[in-house]
């Protein structure tokens, strides 16, 4: 049984249909990347899985349970967390306060988890009282990911975690994503930096105009001439 199974999902905003029967699966321990042109529905798919956009038709199953009509906070309780591309931290709060906000559903003493996040993301431990709004783009992205990890998710959805980052910072955040995966968390990525993302992915999906166009191993998509020409800049 797949960890996440999206089956023929239709969704959108208002009267505008964006996804036209999209399907994908993620197994335990996988990194899966969704690529495609701007406006093809990648972010909408992530938000639909996370419960932020309504499912009009089809189903989203997580750990064998239908979560298609489940509110976002309840989905987070099940072990699925979403990190949006923008507005993913509280800029006026400190690093530590952001992590505390990430633990809003926990009932235990989560101090140990904050310390674990500091070990996981050493940059955040340098000045925990620093306001998130003063962090660099890469540091802010690491804080957003750490905040999501405060709930010990089984699956984390990352919407363009490398967007706008300097190359050196891309490699640093990518290394943290790999470390997250090695710790037992499955990862679903949406990323314009498709070559970097596919290079570490077990599998990938190409989404075009809100529909599945292609699915294959990450390495196979990298070697596919048409995918390279259309989506990888080569």
Q: What pLDDT, on a 0 to 100 scale, did the predictor assign at position 74?
A: 94
Query: Domains in the chain, ordered, with CATH?
Result: 4-231 (3.40.50.300)
Q: How far apart are CA 82 and CA 118, in angstroms?
A: 20
- Residue from 213, 215, 222 nearest 194 by CA: 222
Structure-token match 């290079």, residue found: 199
Tokens of 185: 């968390």
Q: What pLDDT, on a 0 to 100 scale, did the predictor assign at position 167?
A: 86
Q: Which residues of 108-130 are buried (b: 16+ CB within 10 A; e: fewer)?
A: eebeebbebbbebbebbeeeeee
Q: What pLDDT, on a 0 to 100 scale, did the predictor assign at position 44?
A: 97
Q: What pLDDT, on a 0 to 100 scale, did the predictor assign at position 193?
A: 83
Q: Is 89 helix (H, G, I), strand (E, B) or coil?
A: coil
Cβ–Cβ under 8 Å, residues 196 and 162: yes
Q: Environment class of residue 72 by beta-carbon count within 10 Å: exposed (0-12), middle (13-18) or buried (19+)?
A: middle
- Residue from 112, 194, 200, 212 nearest 152 by CA: 112
Q: What pLDDT, on a 0 to 100 scale, did the predictor assign at position 69?
A: 93
If the chain, 234 residues long, is cut into consecutive pieces of 10 residues, what is the mean pLDDT of each piece? 96 97 97 93 96 98 96 94 91 96 88 93 94 92 94 95 85 89 96 88 96 96 89 69
Sheet bearing 211-217, strands edge to edge: 80-83, 155-159, 186-190, 31-35, 203-208, 211-217
Q: What pLDDT, on a 0 to 100 scale, did the predictor assign at position 233?
A: 65
């Amino acid at each position: 049984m797949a960890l996440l199974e999206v089956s023929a999902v239709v969704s959108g905003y208002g009267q505008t249909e964006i996804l036209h029967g999209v399907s994908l699966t993620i197994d335990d321990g996988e990194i899966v990347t969704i690529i495609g042109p701007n406006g093809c529905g990648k972010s909408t798919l992530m938000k639909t899985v996370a419960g932020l956009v309504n499912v009009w038709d089809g189903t989203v199953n997580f750990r064998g349970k239908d979560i298609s009509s489940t509110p976002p906070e309840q989905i987070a309780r099940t072990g699925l967390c979403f990190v949006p591309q923008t507005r993913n931290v509280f800029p006026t709060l400190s690093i530590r306060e952001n992590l505390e906000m990430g633990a809003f559903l926990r009932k235990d003493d989560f101090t140990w988890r904050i310390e674990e996040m500091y070990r996981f993301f050493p940059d955040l431990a340098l000045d925990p009282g620093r306001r998130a709004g003063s962090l660099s783009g890469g540091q802010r992205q690491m804080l957003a990911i750490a905040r999501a990890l405060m709930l010990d998710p089984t699956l984390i959805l990352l919407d363009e975690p490398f967007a706008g980052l300097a190359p050196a910072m891309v490699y640093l955040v990518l290394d943290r994503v790999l470390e997250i995966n090695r710790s037992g968390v499955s990862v679903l990525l949406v990323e314009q930096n498709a070559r970097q993302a596919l290079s570490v992915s077990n599998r990938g999906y190409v989404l075009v105009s809100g529909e599945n166009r292609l699915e294959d191993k990450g390495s196979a998509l990298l070697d596919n001439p048409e995918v390279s020409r259309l989506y990888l800049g080569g």
